[in-house]
Amino acid sequence: MKEIRLHGRGGMGTVKAAEVIVHAMVAQGGFGNSIPFFGFERQGAPVTSFIRLDAKPIRPKTQVYEPDCIIVLDRSLQTAVDVFVGVRENAFLIVNSAEPPESIEAPKRVTTIATVDANEISIRKIGKPIPNTAMLGAFVKCTGWVEIDAVVDKVAALWGDANASIVREAYDSTLILRR
Amino acid sequence: MSRVDVLNGNLAAAHAARLSRPEVIAAYPITPQTPVVEYLTQFHADGSLPCQMSEVESEHSAMSILTGASLTGVRCYTATSSQGLALMYEPYFRASTLRLPIVMNIVNREMISPQTVWGGPQDSMTLRDAGWLQIYVEDNQEILDTTIQAFKVAESAEVLLPINVCYDGFYLSHMTERVEIPSQEEVDAFLPPYRSRHIILDPETPMAVDPLTNGRLLMEYRRKHMAAQQAALVAIEKADAEYARRFGRSWGGVIDEYRTEDAEYLMVSLGSVCGALRECIDDARARGVRVGLLKIRSLRPFPRARVIEALAGKKGFGVIDRNVSFGTNTGILFQEIRAALYSAGSRYPAASFIGGLGGEDLTLEIVAGAIKSTIETVDAGKIDNEASWLVRPERKA
């Protein structure tokens, strides 16, 4: 089983991005669940969402405490939230950043770091800095845990072709550091 | 043909309601049930849910409208949570004592105060003695399947009682996972249209309903109501068996047992924490600890005989309650299990736990700890008269 934690802010589509990953996993014959961390929904407030992916049905309906992968939709969160709490060995980290992955500080347990300039792609394609779809592309490129076509199909169905093209461009432009 | 989709618990409930072809829906939004109302109004707007949809000004009105509608012999559905259920209390009790087979999902949310919007079945469990049937479920597929079955159970001639299908707020209502949605044709074949025969408001054939009634006759009503609750024990099992034949999924009827056959210890609970319990039971089994799960699906009627049978020959048990029974120092389910066992002729060591209130997570770590603690209590031959509180430790990186 793979466990993922997403850190974003209200309005960035964090919870929806988690749901798209579960959709993709189910579309390819697997199982997944996603649970948002339930706070009062406010624009800009820190938001956390949890995902589990597996080849067999997933029984725990609980939050994720020891993630194999951390997705950070907004780097400024790192001053407000400890995004690395409980992270497992050989974990993946995906950050929304214009900088290369070498510039990202992370504990040694994180052995793969990926960055993508999600805001830039999003503003250029849909005129708004909504980073979730670009982060989906980066997630697929970095981990390979779900298929890119399944993610693109679901994003197209939910939000249209412009957003689907964001996923593809982010997938192609994601920078990955394995260490 | 059924289709596979990824649904949150509220959408699973809304699909179940849609597929069951209710003729009247009246509902008022409240967190965490709100999306159920949104999905249903969306289905109604796009034509896939042809019914009378009433957006009322309160939960009291929602149940009052359904009471009137059900009295005319039509199929009725609604959903609510916590304070909404509390506001509905007066027509809630009346719907059951009028023997109206209304189906209502309760998206379990902790009761205030202090102010909270998060999960916990205190809302519906507190109302266990208001005459409704109450079933508690563990995942989103079970929400969908059980809500469809609920109409069949409630409307069966020997039952004729309203029913709640209860699921944990947020942990299920806002969790997305794989769910199979049966086709309309399949559900139609399982669930024929409702035809009321016991009580119909019809100007063509007038009848008096709910006149002022003396105590002697009221006791006769109560006695029959209680008999109908007992009949529901059978109706729930029958509906589950028929559903399994048609759709290939059984949820166990009034209880579900997991790895109980050769178990020495049983963990007892209801709702979404049963998923974590299954996981932790497998871990314990891998270490040679013979523990199993007794999941209570039907809290009302309470499956006394099945509980006694499931516990027969075990060393003892532990109950995880996500609620409190004020004045008893334990949770409600612990009280129910102990009461059922009084007639069993055996005295079982037992551990009582309260945790997961107000949306607090019942993590795998906490659940594993409760299993360990149960085994210690049972091996020491003790019976808890006071619950242990399951509290999550603070974590640091």
Residues A78-91 have pLDDT tens digits of 888 899 999 999 99
Percent with pLDDT over 70 in chain B: 99
Q: Where are the beta strands (DSSP E) in B216-375?
A: 255-258, 265-269, 291-296, 298-300, 316-321, 350-355
B114-125: average pLDDT? 96
Q: What angle do CA B53, B246, B171 make, to 5 degrees?
A: 55
Q: How far is B145 from chain A (nearest CA, A)?
A: 17
User: Which residue of A19, A35, A84 is in closest CB contact with B397?
Assistant: A84
B173 falls in which pLDDT band (50, 70, 90)? very high
Q: Which of A28, A41, A62, A85 to mutate to test the interface with B (most CBs of B within 10 A)?
A: A62
Q: Per the CB < 8 Å rule, is A22 touching B176?
A: yes
pLDDT higher than 90, residue B8: yes
pLDDT higher than 80, residue B172: yes
- Scored b (16 or more CB within 10 A) or e, A140-178 reads bbbbebbebebbbbbbeeebeeebbbbbbbbbebbbbbe
Residue of B nearest to A40 (CA): B117
Q: What is the 3-class SS of B158-173, one letter each residue?
A: CCCCCEEEEEECCCCC
What average pLDDT is seen over chain A?
96
Structural domains in chain B plus CATH codes: 3-247 (3.40.50.970), 255-390 (3.40.50.920)
Q: How far is A36 from chain B (nearest CA, A)?
A: 7
Give B50-62 pLDDT, tens digit per residue: 999 999 999 999 9
Residue B14, beta-bridge partner list: none
Chain B residues whose C-beta is within 8 A of a chain A C-beta are 4-6, 32, 117-118, 138-139, 168, 170-172, 174-178, 272-273, 275-276, 278-279, 359, 361-365, 395-397
What does the pLDDT read at residue B396?
55
What does the pLDDT read at residue B345?
84
Q: Are B64 and B28 in contact (CB under 8 A)?
A: no
Region of poorest pLDDT, from A121-135, B181-195, B336-350 = B336-350
Q: Which of B116, B178, B362, B366 to mutate to test the interface with A (most CBs of A within 10 A)?
A: B178
What average pLDDT is seen over chain B?
97
Region of poorest pLDDT, from A32-46, B25-39, B141-155 = A32-46
pLDDT higher than 90, residue A2: yes
Q: Does domain A2-178 fall into CATH 3.40.640.10? A: no
Give B260-273 pLDDT, tens digit per residue: 999 999 999 999 99
Identify all chain B residues contacting A47, using CB atoms and an 8 Å cutoff: none
Identify all chain A residues contacting B176, using CB atoms and an 8 Å cutoff: 18-19, 22, 33-34
pLDDT higher than 80, residue A40: no
User: Which residue of B174, B178, B275 is in closest CB contact with A38?
Assistant: B174
Q: Per the CB < 8 Å rule, is A58 touching B177?
A: yes
Give B59-103 pLDDT, tens digit per residue: 999 999 999 999 999 999 999 999 999 999 999 999 999 999 999
Rounded to the nearest angstrom, the gap between the alpha carbon of residue B396 and the centroid of all alpha carbons in its chain is: 36
Identify all chain A residues contacting B172, using CB atoms and an 8 Å cutoff: 61
Identify all chain B residues contacting A53, using CB atoms and an 8 Å cutoff: none
Percent with pLDDT over 90 in chain B: 96
Is residue B386 classed as helix, strand or coil in its secondary structure? coil
Q: Per the CB < 8 Å rule, is B177 touching A38?
A: no
A18-45: average pLDDT? 90
Q: How far is B353 from chain A (nearest CA, A)?
A: 18
Residue of A nearest to B273 (CA): A61
pLDDT higher than 80, residue B40: yes
B397 falls in which pLDDT band (50, 70, 90)? very low
Report how far residue B274's alpha carbon sits from residue B367's, in angstroms, rounded to the nearest whole number: 10
Q: Per the CB < 8 Å rule, is B168 touching A85?
A: no
For chain A, give every domain's residue range.
Answer: 2-178
Q: Are B119 and B162 in contact (CB under 8 A)?
A: no
Whole-prediction pTM? 0.97
Residue of B nearest to A33 (CA): B177
CA distances from B84 to B90, B104, B138, B167 (A): 12, 12, 22, 15
Identify all chain A residues contacting B397, using CB atoms and an 8 Å cutoff: 82, 84-87, 107
Q: Per the CB < 8 Å rule, is B6 touching A23?
A: yes
Residue B293 or residue B397, greater confidence: B293
What does the pLDDT read at residue A31?
98
pLDDT higher than 70, residue B126: yes
A40-52: average pLDDT? 86
Q: How far is A161 from chain B (nearest CA, A)?
A: 21
Identify all chain B residues contacting A3, using CB atoms and an 8 Å cutoff: none
Residue type, A55: A
Chain A residues whose C-beta is within 8 A of a chain B C-beta are 18-19, 22-23, 26, 31-36, 38, 40, 57-63, 65, 82, 84-87, 107
Q: Which of B140, B175, B395 to mutate to test the interface with A (most CBs of A within 10 A)?
A: B175
In 3D space, the residue among B136, B104, B107, B135 whose CA is nearest the CA of residue B119 turns out to be: B107
What does the pLDDT read at residue B221?
97
What does the pLDDT read at residue A42?
75
User: Which residue of A34, A59, A82 is in closest CB contact with B175?
Assistant: A34
Q: Per the CB < 8 Å rule, is B397 touching A87?
A: yes
User: Which residue of A22, A58, A85 is in closest CB contact with B395?
Assistant: A85
B190-212: average pLDDT? 92
DSSP-assigned states of every residue in B138-203: SSHHHHHHHHHHHHHHHHSTTT---EEEEEETTTTTT-EEEEEE--HHHHHHHSPPP---S----T
Peptide bond into B114 cis (omega under 30): yes
Query: How many C-beta neighbours within 10 Å does residue B382 have?
Result: 13
Identify all chain A residues contacting B279, using CB atoms and an 8 Å cutoff: 59-60
What does the pLDDT read at residue B344?
87
Residue of A nearest to B280 (CA): A60
Q: How far is B207 from chain A (nearest CA, A)?
A: 49
User: Which residue of B168, B178, B395 is in closest CB contact with A65?
Assistant: B395
B144-166: average pLDDT? 98
Peptide bond into B32 cis (omega under 30): yes
Residue of A nearest to B175 (CA): A35
